[in-house]
Structure 1
Amino acid sequence: MRKLHILTAASLLTLTACGGGGDSDDGGVTPTPPPPQPSDNLQACSGDIPGLSSQSTDTDIQFWLEPAYTAAQPASIVATIPNSVGALFKWRQLSGTSVELVSSESPVLAMELPQSGDYEFELTVNRNGQQQTASVNITASAQNTNALNVRLDHQVAEGDGISLRLDDTGASGDASWCQVSGPALKADLDNANRPLMTAPQVSSDSVIHIRASRNNQTDDVYLLVTDEPAIGSNALFDTQTARVHAYNPDSNYASAVEKCIYNTQVRLAQCTVSELPLLGQVNSTPNLDSIMNRVLVSHDWMGDNFKAFLQNKDPDGDFAQLLQSVTAVVISYDIRPSFYWVATGAIYLDPSDLWLTPAQRDTINEAPDFRSGFGNDLQFLMPWRYIKDNDYASDYYSPAVRTTRTLDDIEPDLASLLYHELAHANDFFPSSIHNSINAATLYDEFVTRNDQKLLISDQLTSAYPLQSSEMRGLAQVRFMGETANATQKAYLPADITSFFSNDIASDFYAYSTTREDAAMLFEEAMMSHRLGIQRDVAVTNSPEQVSAETVIVDWGQRGRIGDNTLQSRAALVLDKMMPGIGGNTLVAGLPEPVQMNAGQSWAANLVLGSSQQSSRVSANSQQTEIQPPLRLSGNRHRLPTNDNQ
């Protein structure tokens, strides 16, 4: 997860993690720690290993080619230019069997050549209004069926995270890694088949060559580490961000979103409302083109899939309407987990819910959420899942399986993510105020609204406050990293059941901040209303080995949002965020909650009210999943570093 810069007490209220904003009633600041940094340098490879060969052109573009290319094996062409900061790269294929180009906007063209033969690619580079074009030819030999495949060669900004993955070929044993050339690379090899690394600082764009070996097989990986501008003082993002670009470079707002939203030079309230207004301030009628004109991506496929989803999976216009309360949408391979930030007015989406092909998935960073160790000394867990017809609403796709997905496949996860993140945006800047925003910046507008307790989440808390101080304190441990005290460590699942089940929160995560409370209500209500998908929540034990089969339910409900004690709260949020939806009627029509069977495992509680067993079988016949990995409360959303509760 990316560390976000903590400014002054005045900026406490800016970040609403993928679920809301973090805040403290006393105005204190709880910094979000950076992700663990790999500390051990990779061992140098022994022997004479050939590296990339250079190919000059009659432009500033220089190509770097692998010693050999093989069909059905990951490969790349690296392009370098002097000082690539601000340059826009665009590759296209000129000849050869069609190749899926998932990194066509990167200086590193990563690909898998489908068959042997000759291929030609063209690269166009735009920088400072000047355009240069050059082409390059390669030849692929026949497929090597015993090859070791590492995914994926790519460009990475200095100081940013790197993840690589070996294909699961059924071979036993872990891989070993060594570095052939380039600046020293630090790596975390705890999972040697999915190593995590941090790009070194460089003074100019530099290629790093590393090698993986397993069972006498090898594969080489090439990383282009790019020199980036020094991180600005008081920057909102004070660790490196990936390079992103406007999905529509011809948009009137392309320059503004590239300047104001996601880079290490962005400062608080850097851009005015006149430079980058909310979408709804410009046009109150939802329009797909206007939305896509505000999208920033690290890879164009992310924008392509997001656009296709809005075109085909928003029949009621919910997302188009809710998106009117954002300035921009950022989708980047290094965002994990997702969040909304009032400091920029944008939502930041983890692309894990957007990939449709294995090659697209290869481009996403797999670094784990740094919060995974928070609250490990507590004696309970609170898992969740979305269910439809007594089965998981979405398939689980193991990274080890190279499979495709459809828009139908990604709908449950992406819809719930969007309902949640856009709930935050509409909490802060609902459509009812778009025509009355007079402040110079959105942040100024937020400060005024926050001081006067005008946010929807403030109104929710005033009318229907959560009661359990115990759950609120435990949320600070689980989601914010505070140290558990002796009393909290002693709580058993039965204690948590008494605290939670008798209160009016829809999920444990609602206790992290008031912003998350509102967003969780909105997300669960809309998923049930629009898609007929209900959310399970439970209190379980916390065994040493955690899985759906090992955790035992002390208490749980399916469709808690339909509980009578929550309906007034949900109706308030729905009516404020989506005027005209009819909150009271909507929640009255939601299914009654179904109680889980205490004493049984989380897995055994998948089917409720029926004796028929259920299993997960993906649309791809290669993969069957009986139980997806356990999801714990709050795992899809980034908690804010701080915010006003």
Structure 2
Amino acid sequence: MNNKKYKLSALASLSMVLAACGGGGNKAPTTEQKDKPPVTVSAPAPTAAFVHVSETEPMIGDFVELILLSSSRTEKISDIQWTQIAGNPVTFLADKSKLISFRAKSAGNYAFEVSYRKADGSTEKITSEVTVSQQEATITAALGYAMQEGQMPNRSRASLAAYYYQESFTPDKVEWSLVSGGNLEFEPSEDGRSIFFDPPEVEEDTVFDFQVNVTKNETTFTDTVSILVEDAPPISENNVIAYRHRLAKVHSYNPASKYADVLQKCTYSNTLRYDLTCTFAELPLLGQEYEKPTVEQVMDRVLVSHDWMGERFEEFLRQNDQHDDFKYLLRAVTAIVISSDVNPSYYTALSGAIHLSPDYFVTSFDEYLTYLKSPDFRASFGSKLQYSTRWELKNKTAESDAQYLLYHELAHANDYFPKSKWPFYSDSQRLLDAVYPDIQRSNMQSGLLSRAMPLNSTELLALGKVLQTGAEPTEEQQAFLPEDIIHFFENDSASQFYNYASIQEDYASLFHAAMLKAREDSDVVVSIHDKNGDMKWGQAGRIGKADIKPRVSYVVSRVLPEFTELDTFLESLPEPTMLDVNQSTPANSSPLVTSDRTWLNNK
């Protein structure tokens, strides 16, 4: 694959800038309406740039994009800063990017100023105005979600989607067209509501304008959406490059952090190399600097694609860490990356950074539209098997999603870089060099657990490779019935089926199950289903099982030694509870615990 030509910018992941604007009428669009170009607002000569406005007559409820473009298209502009200078206050979530998008919630005139630095070092400003009509939009087009082709990290397909403001709105027909920008092939979803496409190669920053026509009862509603595809330097195809797919633009959440200049280079860059990772002197573990980091010290290590992601993460730490668990656990990381192109979340010893999907922290529809929503690439694994497994959290709260995520991923961090080894790392050591010998010899904490108290079901361990890595199931595995899986699982010491993915996942899954129970009284509920989805067996609170408690003790005492109530907690655990297969049906079948998104109904 040639990675040279494109970079998708600002508002969404892989730098794809997608948002909605325009639109709305209550009648079928005429040819003139379809062909009407977006507005271009130019500053008086001799400016080096101009602003592309995506819609001439936006309505209430529409998204509007303003895109800063170099007049020559190839001249580099930097240090971008957008500011609203007139009109009812609006929210735009990427004020330092070439593209901003805002949702017009009321009629009136709006004005924006953008400042930028030219290639010669001088600065300029441009003012742009947008007038929102009194009409209310019925539909709006915006960022949809991206489908990942294969496992992470791989190239994603970009997507646009039509959203309907009337909850019961069911269109008769949805049609998309490319209005301007050049050649770009796209594929519609089955219902036409979304389109998918591969970002094209470009020689210069290029705007593509799409139009969607949504027809119901012979009335057609129209909206326009603009995307910006930026030119970018090539990515090396050398095998030592860690990320050979285009990453989103990220920046230090706290620009005054003493690590602001190295966070991206050391953790989330297309130049990051396996053989030249940063040293502990350049970017140490938090725990090498602080015995108990403050929230401010944690936030100095946060790298984001959009500032709201850092804001929500900071709010979460301040409001949901009364026991200081997460601050202690975060000592084993060098950085926290929250970016529009991270999905699923993961930890890597390459950089010592934890990478979190913004989907766990989003609180509004506007935020929701700034990142790509990729279905879990593992969803189709195991489709040839005669059974399926599911899990959920009992007594789930609004914060359970992020709590689960952090307990799980930070268990990985403390597995690779346990507290007992922090004093022995030298400043000159590279992170990966420090941990690689333990990885090779399976001497990480999870490896020691697997030798001391291993999982015993060879059948489920082999099936774990099918369900988590996509390995082709054997004929014997395809013949297993739910009753076989029940027998294997009941007699083993896993807290849930995800434990069988790897020894590292076994370790992290035991930890998150224990801590969610200890702090939130939330049990992990697991179940086994037949091909029709009917539940054949289910159980809650497996960490109370006699042969699982010692494994939980082993993990928690090493990951979070500050949890001094561990022995009392283990003694208080009840025996697992069987589910009534006729009444209980755990809903989700993925490690991702889906949030309550009631705000989507109030978009």
TM-score w.r.t. structure 2 length?
A: 0.84
Q: 1:569 aligns with which of 551, 571, 583?
A: 551
Q: Is the 8 A contact 2:77 2:116 kept in 1?
A: no
SS in structure 2 at match of 1:324: helix
- Relative distance call for 1:506 and 1:91 in structure 2 (3 A) is same
Tell me if 1:219 matches 2:223: yes
Structure-2 change in CA distance of 1:227 and 1:449 (3 Å): same
Output the CA distance in 2 between the equivalents of 1:487 and 1:430. 39
Q: Is the 8 A contact 2:544 2:575 kept in 1?
A: yes
Judge conservation of contact 2:61–2:137 (CA < 8 Å) in 1: no
**Does the C-alpha gap of structure 1 residues 430 and 218 become closer, same or farther in structure 2, counting only changes over 3 Å?**
same
Residues 491-516 of structure 1: CA deviation (Å, up to 9, x unaligned): 11000011111100111111111000
Aligned pair count reads: 539
1:424 equivalent in structure 2: 412
Question: Aligned partners of 1:199, 1:322: CA distance in 2, in Å?
Answer: 38
Give CA-to-partner distance per residue, 1:309-347, whole Å, 9 cap, x none: 111111111111111111111111221111111111111
The one-letter code of the counterpart of 2:174 is A
| 1:227-274 superposed Cα distances (whole Å, 9 cap, x missing partner) | 222112232111121111111122111121111212222111432221
What residue number does 1:200 align with? 200
Quick one: distance in 2 between partners of 1:220 and 1:461?
A: 55
Q: Aligned equivalents of 1:635 and 1:311: distance in 2?
A: 23
Query: How far is the alpha carbon of 1:538 from its aligned partner?
Result: 0.8
- 1:376 corresponds to: 383
> Paired residue for 2:112, among 121, 124, 129?
121
State the shift of 1:195 in Å.
Answer: 2.9
Most deviating of 432-441 and 236-245: 432-441
Instruction: Give the Å deviation of 1:167.
Output: 1.5
Deviations 1:471-502 (A, max 9, x none): 11111111111111111111110000111111
Assess if the C-alpha contact under 8 Å between 1:427 and 1:455 holds in 2: yes
Distance 2:138 2:500 in 1: 50
Q: How far 1:206 moved relative to its partner?
A: 0.7
Distance in 2 (alpha carbons) for counterparts of 1:89 and 1:254: 18
What is the SS of the residue equivalent to 2:178? strand
Aligned equivalents of 1:477, 1:125: Cα separation in 2? 51
Q: 1:127 and 1:284 mapped to 2: Cα distance?
A: 44
Give the superposition deviation at 1:373. Answer: 1.4
- Match of residue 71 from structure 1: 60
Please list every run of 5 or more consecutive structure 1 residues that lacks an aligned counterpart in the other structure.
Answer: 1-33, 35-44, 395-408, 544-550, 607-626, 638-645
Residues 338 and 636, structure 1, Cα contact 8 Å, conserved in 2? no
Aligned equivalent of 1:609: none
**Residue 161 (structure 2) aligned to one of 133, 145, 165:** 165
Kept in 2: contact 1:529–1:586 (CA 8 A): yes
- Identify the residue that residue 584 of structure 2 maps to in structure 1: 605
**Structure-2 separation of matches of 1:321 and 1:128:** 44
Amino acid at match of 1:354: F
For residue 537 of structure 1, what is the aligned residue in structure 2? 526
Whole-Å separation in 2 of the counterparts to 1:349 and 1:384: 21
Off by >6 Å, runs of 4+ in structure 1: none
Identify the match of residue 248 of structure 1 among 230, 247, 254.
254
Residue 274 (1) aligns with residue 281 (2):
yes
Supply the RMSD in Å over aligned alpha carbons: 2.6
Of residues 310-319 and 64-73 in structure 1, the stretch that sits farther from structure 2 once superposed is 64-73
Which aligned pairs between 1:446-457 and structure 2 lie closer than 5 A? 446-457=435-446
Deviation readout 1:497-555 (Å, 9 max, x if unpaired): 11111100111111111000000000111011011111111111122xxxxxxx22222
Contact 1:507 1:633 in 2 (8 A): no
Aligned counterparts of 2:543 and 2:76: Cα–Cα separation in 1: 48
Provide closer, same or farther for how the CA distance between residues 175 and 426 of structure 1 changes in structure 2, counting only shifts above 3 A: same
Give the distance between the partners of 1:195 and 1:187, measured in 2 at CA: 6
Match of 1:181 in 2: 180
Give the corresponding residue for 2:495. 506
Which of 475, 479, 494 pairs up with 2:468? 479
Name the counterpart of 1:303: 310
Query: Aligned equivalents of 2:499 and 2:183: distance in 1?
Result: 43
Q: What is the deviation of 1:584?
A: 3.0
Which residue does the alignment assign to 1:3? none
Change beyond 3 A, Cα 1:86–1:333: farther
- What is the distance in 2 between the residues matched to 1:478 and 1:287? 39
1:247 partner letter: Y
Counterpart contact for 2:242–2:270, Cα < 8 Å: yes
Deviates more, 1:336-345 or 1:197-206: 197-206
Whether the 8 Å CA contact 1:536–1:556 is kept in 2: the answer is yes
Compare relative contact order (CA 8 Å, sep 6+) and give the higher one, 1 or 2. 1
Cα shift at 1:632: 1.2
Residue by residue over 1:29-60, the C-alpha shift from the partner in whole angstroms, topping out at 9 and shown as x without a partner, is xxxxx9xxxxxxxxxx9876122333333543
| Amino acid in structure 1 at the alignment position of 2:498 | Y
1:153 Cα offset (Å): 9.9
Query: What amino acid is the match of 1:556?
Result: G
TM-score by length of 1: 0.79
- Return the letter of the residue paired with 2:42: S
Partner of 1:19: none
**C-alpha displacement at 1:450, in angstroms?**
2.5
Question: Counterpart of 2:352?
Answer: 345
| TM-aligned CA deviation for residue 87 of structure 1 | 3.7
Q: Deviations over 1:338-391 (max 9, x none)?
A: 111111111111111111111111212123222221111111111111111xxx
Structure 2 CA distance for partners of 1:501 and 1:173, relative to 1, 3 Å: farther
